Amino acid sequence: MTSATTNGIILAAALLSGAVVYLRNKKRPALPYPPGPKKHFLLGNLLDVPTKFAWKTYAQWGKAFDSDILHLSVAGNDFIILNTFSAANDLFEKKSSIYSSRPQFTMVSELMGWDWLMSGMVYGEPWRERRRAFQQYFHAGNAPLYQPAQMEAIRKMLPRLLNTPEDFLSITRQKEEFCVDEKDDFYSALGTMALSLAYGLDIREDNDPYLNLSEEAVKSIGEAAVPGAFLVDVIPALKYVPEFFPGAGFKKKARIWKGMQEGMREIPYADTVKNITRSSYSSDDGVQEVGNARVSFTSTCLENLDESGNIEHQRTVVKDTAAIVFAAATDTTLSAIHTFFVAMLCFPESQRKAQEELDRVLGGRLPEFSDEADLPYLSALVKEVLRSSTYAMIQMATLDAHRFAAIPHYASEDDVYNGYHIPKGSLVIGNAWAMLHNEDDYPEPSLFRPERFLKHGQLDPDVRDPALMAFGFGRRLCPGNHIAISALWLTAATVLATFDITEAIDGNGLPIEPSVEYESALICKAHGENGYSHPLPFKCTIKPRSKASTTLIQSASDSL
């Protein structure tokens, strides 16, 4: 089947869906839909949806229509855009029983077998079981379980940053899209942390098989989740077509991708179980000991299974949740770390202030988590990274005809908000970018200014925390947001304590003026639940702040 034929079928299906919705909506509700661009016959707003920097356009539409809630109709689907924190809180938090589910896609959930993935699961008991398992182990009060792994991973990364600073942000251009190279130093460091937290396993080599499993599986779900890529998402009955049937090539892809999903989910878990089994023995004095099976989410949960319940079901929940930790723990933090480097390059005054504070508090040693209370400027800087960067776009959708960058919330019932009708089945999206650039909350939002979070030299509790918007909303709030923030904080503190980030130098020895841009759409369609916007390739100089810094980096690595 040619590309033109496939596109024609998809367009026909979209028109058919639009016609069905048009006929359904001829009997209009008593209340109006939220405001939005004028709908076109059958297509709705399909031709109006922006293809670049859509989050900015939605914010502009909100101002033009003087409304913090918008309605779009795209090929038969109702979309609700929320541009303010108050609107997001009213729906996602106060009405969470209605807005906590997710839309389902046949290719990803059924044919590829990702129905266990917590971020995309329908709201219900299976989702609650996995979230509960995660929160019981990784709750904010359990920091001693995950912070040592973060400390070890980040300090092991420092010598690589010292020896090959040019590789700190490895970006290549592939298939006409900018794609962050999964093998860069920070990816490896965060992958090490995720593997240790989830399974107690170590990365064994540069081309680690566990990281490769995760990378390939996440790439496949990214490709499959692009709306319009597979007709089976428009016509679910096509899932019954045999693989050998003409035009059913999607079935072969689904089978191969399902194998990747199963490998990522099964292999690290099975290896952990083997380690636990062969490492448990009784010593001469009768005390139970554990050999090379390190404490992890998986080992702890398996040790605490409820013997009175369904053991196999509990093990499945543990296996699923561990895979979620492994797959999701990397890119959420990676995007923010890359943006941190961008901010330090473009705003050297903020870098200098943070380094002065670090020098005063640390006195020449590396930072610890216990230093956080004494480093308010650094904490404010981290908050500003979350607020000002496109990292906040993890909750935004591009809503064009080709791709989405977020998993929307799903309205499971008809609802009324501020006098507007929100139909059942609507896909509801919180525009975190608009919220984090709200001038009432953050004056001069286009400026990178950590001081906005400070008052009399301390963090100001009256300024809204960007984490309330950058990690999702309501019951679908990312349960590991505190882990991502702590990894970002420690990375920023450690790097700034030891390195200077400055302009790159050209062949004539002259500084290159910083010019950093972000890709507006999904990067490689492969990163995480919602898609993350990484900086496009940029150059900078990363060098130790002093000889003492070089010695500190080397000694810290040797001690691990």
Binding site per annotation, positions for heme? 478
Buried (b) or exposed (e) across 116-143, using 16+ Cβ within 10 A? Answer: bbbbbbebeebbebbbebbeebbeeeee
Which tokens in the block code for residue 105?
Answer: 């896609």
In sign, the C-alpha dihedral spanning 424, 427, 432, 438 is: negative
Which residues are within 8 A (CB) of 241 and not within 5 positions of it... i.e. 6 or more apart?
247, 248, 251
Nearest to 473 by CA among 437, 432, 436: 432
Contacts of 282 (CB under 8 A, 6+ apart): 288, 289
3-state secondary structure of 129: helix
3-state secondary structure of 502: strand
195 touches 272 (CB < 8 A): no
For residues 252 and 242, what is the distance between their CA atoms, to the nearest angstrom?
Answer: 10
Binding site, residues?
478
Give the position of tokens 């919602």: 530
Beta bridge partners of residue 502, listed in sequence order: 541
Count CB neighbours of 284 within 10 A.
Answer: 5
C-alpha Rg value of the chain to the nearest Å: 24
DSSP string, 56-117: HHHHHHHHHTT-SEEEEEETTEEEEEE-SHHHHIIIIITTHHHH-B----IIIIIIS-GGG-
Quick one: which of 426, 406, 483 has its CA closest to 120? 406
Nearest alpha carbon to residue 228 among 531, 41, 13, 532: 13
**Cα of 164 vs its chain's centroid, Å:** 27
Instruction: Return all residues near 450 (Cβ < 8 A) that are at least 6 apart.
Output: 350, 353, 354, 377, 380, 381, 383, 384
